[in-house]
Chains A and B, each alone.
Chain A
């Protein structure tokens, strides 16, 4: 089966510019996650969708970050305006859920963002 797809793979922007990342999860996976991975740290959850609804966005800096998953499939994450500290790898993951069972999250290759 095809894995989680992300684009672009790399992006360089100047501070105060805007940027958007795209994610296509594995077919049939209802749950989608966006993580931020700063160099030298583990991934940190930004937002979790169940179908097209938000389950958890408690760690999303909502003054500059936004995300949507309009049709319950693809998702976009936007940063506007970007700051230097947003330089990181943005990982998208997806999973499916069967009641009572725990399934792992499948990760995409990530988008490496550099803010100058």
Chain B
């Protein structure tokens, strides 16, 4: 069975500071990994995805994540936080099983940007 753990339900960083959101996964097969962002009263928007190609994945809005198999991690980073980055971030793992591409989400991390 697959699962995702996001460390830290709330993270606060100053504007211009490094953003680091942590995600660890558990999967019985090589996983596909995703980061989604959710703004208030909106659906989820894909930031980036790892599908067994390059281990360093670049996404939208300056975010990137690195897949580390030895640490079973897929942490999300951004060098310099912007006020518009304030949102909830979800890490998700997918085990593709003959068309049953089920996403399992973590509990989310709420990112607050301090002016």
Contact = CB atoms under 8 A, between A and B. Distances in A.
A40 B4 CA distance: 15
A97 B90 contact: no
A107 B41 contact: no
Interface in A79-116: 91, 93, 95, 97, 101-102, 104-110, 112
B17 to A, nearest CB: 25
A109 B43 contact: yes
Interface in A25-67: 31, 33, 40-45, 48, 50, 55-56
Interface string B80-111: 00000000001010101001111111111000
Interface residues of A, number: 27
Interface residues of B, number: 27
Contacts of B100: 48, 55-56
Given A31-B101, A55-B100, A43 B90 contact: yes
Chain B CB within 10 Å, residue with most, of A43, A44, A50, A56: A43
Given A41-B107, A42-B90, A42-B107, A48 B43 contact: no
B34 interface: yes
Interface string B32-64: 101010000111111001010000000000000
Interface of B: 4, 9, 32, 34, 36, 41-46, 49, 51, 90, 92, 94, 96, 99-108
B49 A104 contact: yes
Given A42-B105, A42-B106, A105-B103, A91 B94 contact: no
26 contacts: A40-B9, A40-B107, A42-B90, A42-B105, A42-B107, A43-B103, A44-B105, A48-B100, A48-B102, A56-B100, A91-B43, A91-B44, A93-B43, A93-B44, A97-B101, A101-B51, A102-B32, A102-B49, A102-B94, A102-B96, A104-B46, A107-B44, A109-B41, A109-B42, A110-B43, A112-B41
